[in-house]
A and B are shown apart, each in its own frame.
Chain A
Amino acid sequence: MESLLKVKDLTITFIDENTQTVVVDGVDFHVKPGEVLCIVGESGCGKSVTALSILGLLSPNARITSGSIVFNGQDLLEMNEKEIDQIRGSEATMVFQDVMNSLNPVLTIGSQLTEVIRIHMGYDKKRAREYAIEMIKKVGLPDAETVMKKYPHMLSGGMQQRVMIAMALACEPKLIIADEPTTALDVTIQLQIMKLLVELQKEFHMSILLITHDIGLVAELADRVIIMYAGQFMEETSVYRLFEHPAHPYTRALLESVPCIYDDPNKKLTSIPGTVPENYQDIEGCRFYGRCSYSVPACKEKQIYSEFMEGHFVRCHRAEKGEIPFVS
């Protein structure tokens, strides 16, 4: 199938007065129509920067130093601000973690929502209002008329996130980029929101690019998963395969370090020693080297991201050859 979003060799550099830091280092991925792709990683691995770069939302000190982002056949990096504006908010939208800061505190929900609809769909005021109310109902908020008149601070975090989703879905986009959409919410509310996203995704036949650090959420939602570490992709495969046959030592360590409520109570949690390296751009070989329990001298050489099985990519010369034994 033709991919909806195709990102090739994307490199993003943060430029300070006298330093240049490569935070995303040549990543390649694609999103197919109607699929949920998750990018998983710990804080600072570059997953959010990757997501922001797609719709041109990077901060001014960040530069895309190489690569291309093709959405629906158009190269987004070749477009000017005006052309990107046409796509942003209508064909592809974003849902952020921090809802409080994504909604305008001095405008009512109604005026923010109708503004989006009027700009992108060209509806008149009355029709936009009706459509907005319909969208609010769709995301499961009771009493839509009252919600329209409220200001963001009058709603709870879960309700605000529903409003954000209504806004993102209003123009029936082909792609939703969700950056940790439920991290700030409580678990029971998180489950409601995730169920809602999946239902709507099916109904509108959208694709979702989900950025998260939560392994549990990935297991619940993803079709395909990419594991990111220190600016690079480490592994990529289908969600079922990832949880059954994780290849990269980092993926395995990550899966084993998550406490699960149905684990054997006497099992000791495996922790990954050390922390993510600073200045990882200067590391020539495997960036997980110092923390990996399977490392050998050859790991200090440059690691190639290769498809060792159909649809299963890994950046580890030992995993590729099947030299990493299975634990679970």
Chain B
Amino acid sequence: MLGVTGQKRGRFLLYRDEKREPLMVIRDLKKYYPVRGSTIGKKKPIIHAVDGVDFEIYEGETLGIVGESGCGKSTIGRQIVALEKPTSGHVLYQGESLSDMSAGRLRKIRTHLQMVFQDSTSSLNPRKQIYDILAAPILYHKIVERDMLDEEINRLLDLVGLPKSMKYRYPHEFSGGQRQRIGIAKALSLRPRLVVCDEPVSALDVSVQAQILNLLKQLQDELKVTYVFIAHGLGAVRYVSNRIAIMYLGRIVEIADTQELFDDPVHPYTQALFDASPLPAPKLRGRQRIILKGEIPSSINPPKGCRFHTRCPYAIESCRVDDPKLIPVKPGSSHLAACPVVLAQRKN
């Protein structure tokens, strides 16, 4: 079912969980964007937003994708729900490539793949009441009959913890947290199998963040929906995810089960990212940690070799040349990391 995509080149002989069938398989996914409004006559610079990533999403899990701004995590999210077409590579949903689907088939599949956006203000139409915002997709995709619509909308609002009486209000009458609840109800209204949550709590206050994170977890228990949770806040990602992928400049540098990743981070970037997250414990201020030097390089001209070598405290000569592949940390392990230097050190 993984099909022909590149197996011949031997590139994708990655670890696969034999017991579980992946809901979605991402193979050598690349997405480049031309820079807008650049100089005439010259070749347009290209942003390498996502530059060759492979991973699977299993049914019922939450896969967290973490990285700093510009690392391509949101771009991956948009490819997964078919909002954009990849430059090359494949997003296979139940074995079918999204980019090869007919328009009609894709329209049907879109109901399975939904998204919750960061900015709940701009993703809700300000001129429409919540009732209409929720009703439009339900009617379009014929999820329920028209005479059942009222009941369905009440059910959705109840699901996300909003009182039914609020359904004739406009988006601006809600607080940020409530608007995000509406965004979640909208995503769930089509009974999706996979929901991509793109920074769903970043714009919210801490006290409200916890409410939304708990709501997402509770909904997953009830509805058995699969999540891809994209965020830059490690604490939040760890709280909701079963597995986490760490991204840097368009590539996945490490992917592992949540517990495994936090117990034993392998890639130097993962370690630095963990060290940089502030801990709510003043006693630990003086702890040893990696402080990265320099800025994140531009994704227009990403560094050759390992993309992290310009900031990596462990970089050696070969890191400037060799492009590291994601390999199992131990034979047969589902914990993959793209740093031959650290892995070689561990063997000794």
Chain A interface residues toward B at CB < 8 A: 42-43, 156, 158-159, 186-192, 195, 213-220, 222, 239-240, 243, 253-255, 257-263, 265, 268-273, 275-276
Contact = CB atoms under 8 A, between A and B. Distances in A.
Contacts of A265: 238, 258-259
Contact of A259 (B68, B213, B273, B295): B213
B292 interface: yes
Given A272-B207, A275-B208, A243 B213 contact: no
A43 B205 contact: yes
10 contacts: A189-B296, A190-B276, A192-B291, A254-B206, A255-B280, A259-B233, A260-B280, A270-B210, A271-B210, A275-B177
A217 B210 contact: no
A158 B258 contact: no
Contact of A257 (B210, B233, B259, B293): B210
A187 B259 CA distance: 21
Interface in B186-241: 205-211, 213-214, 232-236, 238-239
B272 interface: yes
Given A189-B295, A215-B280, A258 B273 contact: no
B207 A188 contact: no
B235 A261 contact: yes
Given A190-B276, A259-B213, A261-B274, A219 B281 contact: yes
Contacts, number: 125
Given A219-B285, A222-B282, 18 more contacts: A186-B68, A188-B272, A189-B68, A190-B276, A214-B278, A219-B278, A240-B282, A240-B283, A243-B281, A255-B280, A257-B206, A259-B238, A261-B235, A261-B274, A262-B279, A263-B235, A273-B211, A275-B208
Contact of B279 (A43, A159, A216, A240): A216
B280 A219 contact: yes
B291 A243 contact: no
B262 interface: yes
Interface of B is mostly: helix
Interface centre among A219, A239, A259, A273 (most CB of B within 10 A): A259
Contacts of B258: 265
B236 A260 contact: no
A187 B232 contact: yes
B175 interface: yes
B282 A219 contact: yes
Contacts of B318: none
Contact of A216 (B211, B277, B291): B277
A195 B210 CA distance: 28
Contacts of B295: 156, 158-159, 189
Rank and list the top 5 A-B pairs by shortest CB-CB distance, nearest first: A216-B278, A259-B235, A271-B210, A186-B68, A272-B207
A215 B206 contact: yes
A269 B239 CA distance: 8
B69 interface: yes
Contacts of B277: 187, 216, 261
Given A156-B295, A187-B68, A272-B207, A260 B235 contact: yes
A262 to B, nearest CB: 7
A321 B283 CA distance: 27
B279 A42 contact: no
A195 B291 contact: yes
Nearest to B298: A156
Contacts of B239: 259, 263, 269
A43 B282 CA distance: 23
B206 A243 contact: no
Contacts of B213: 259, 269, 271
Contact of B278 (A192, A217, A276): A217
Contacts of A213: 205-206
